[in-house]
Amino acid sequence: MVGMPRSGSTLLEQILASHSWVDTTDELPFIERLAIDIQQLGGYPSAISRLTNAQLDTLRRTYLQQARQYTLNDTGVFIDKNPNNFMHIGLIKTLFPNAKVINVVRNPLDNALSVYKQYFSAGHHYSYDINHIGFYWQGYLHLSQFWQQTYGRGVYLVSYAKLVECPEAEIRRMLAYCELPFESQCLTFYQSTRAVLTPSVSQVRQPINSRSIGSGLKYKECLTPQQVATFDKLCEDVETFFTTSM
């Protein structure tokens, strides 16, 4: 489960975690740590392509051993929800070609203002400046486009706006992508008692609603013309991205 922070990834995690076949973990750092180790071999992308089968097997076992410490049940299917892993989809697909990667995309302006208002305890240094958020968003979108061109249907795009507009239809599609049978409790995810450790805890304790759609518009008059132009262009690019990818 990847995407920009504050994009709806916790909501999707809660929906999938309500399924009887699915276990959840936390925002695990293990893919990022593997990426750092690989980068030390000399150039991250090229180093991945040079890994031997034995090295790949070792990396797979290392990741699974670490991740399994956070699962509660031995269901065979678990969620690793770390939004930052959008940078590492190539590594994920190299280690686990059959992994189901879900990239949730929210309206750039709504997302940017939500990121700006959120105080992150660590990392996300870009989040303190609207200009930096816009630049980071451009990088996220360009990389998402690259992964989509590379893996096609191997990466599943979820529009947060469409999920809000037609939740049952979108949830059914997402479950089908994950090769999971539909279960009605995925529609009532907000009744789950499992702990949620992200800033979105209050939102996922209630049914899906449209309150956050267009939430950035009321701040638009506070932005500079250049900032408005940046996010208007991002919104257009996101629409094009979905049109050409779905």
Closest CA to 212 of 112, 129, 136: 112
Percent of the chain with pLDDT over 90: 79
Task: Give the residue-averaged pLDDT of 22-33.
Answer: 90
Q: What is the pLDDT of residue 232?
A: 97
Residue with token string 């992994």: 99
Task: Give the residue-averaged pLDDT of 193-205.
Answer: 58
The whole model's pTM is what? 0.92
DSSP assignment letter at 206: S
The string of pLDDT tens digits covering residues 119-153 is 888 889 999 999 999 999 999 999 999 999 999 99
Maximum mean pLDDT: which of 16-25, 167-176, 187-196, 210-219: 167-176
DSSP assignment letter at 183: -
Residue 204 pLDDT class (50, 70, 90 cuts) = low
Q: What is the pLDDT of residue 200?
A: 53
Residue 75 pLDDT class (50, 70, 90 cuts) = low
Task: Give the residue-averaged pLDDT of 52-73.
Answer: 91
Domains and their CATH numbers in the chain:
2-245 (3.40.50.300)
User: Could you tell me the two tokens for 15?
Assistant: 């929906």
Q: What is the pLDDT of residue 96?
A: 96
Q: What is the pLDDT of residue 216?
A: 94
Residue 179 pLDDT class (50, 70, 90 cuts) = very high
Interatomic CA distance for residues 77 and 62, integer angstroms: 17
Which spans in the chain are helix H? 9-17, 30-39, 44-50, 53-67, 89-95, 108-117, 130-151, 160-165, 167-177, 225-245
Q: What is the pLDDT of residue 84?
A: 94
Interatomic CA distance for residues 148 and 151, integer angstroms: 5
Task: Give the residue-averaged pLDDT of 213-225.
Answer: 95
Residue 202 pLDDT class (50, 70, 90 cuts) = low
pLDDT higher than 70, residue 196: no
Point out which residues pair with 46 in neighbouring strands: none
pLDDT higher than 80, residue 205: no
Q: What is the pLDDT of residue 104?
A: 97
Closest CA to 82 of 118, 33, 115: 33
The string of pLDDT tens digits covering residues 32-49 is 999 999 999 888 999 999
Closest CA to 144 of 178, 91, 98, 104: 104
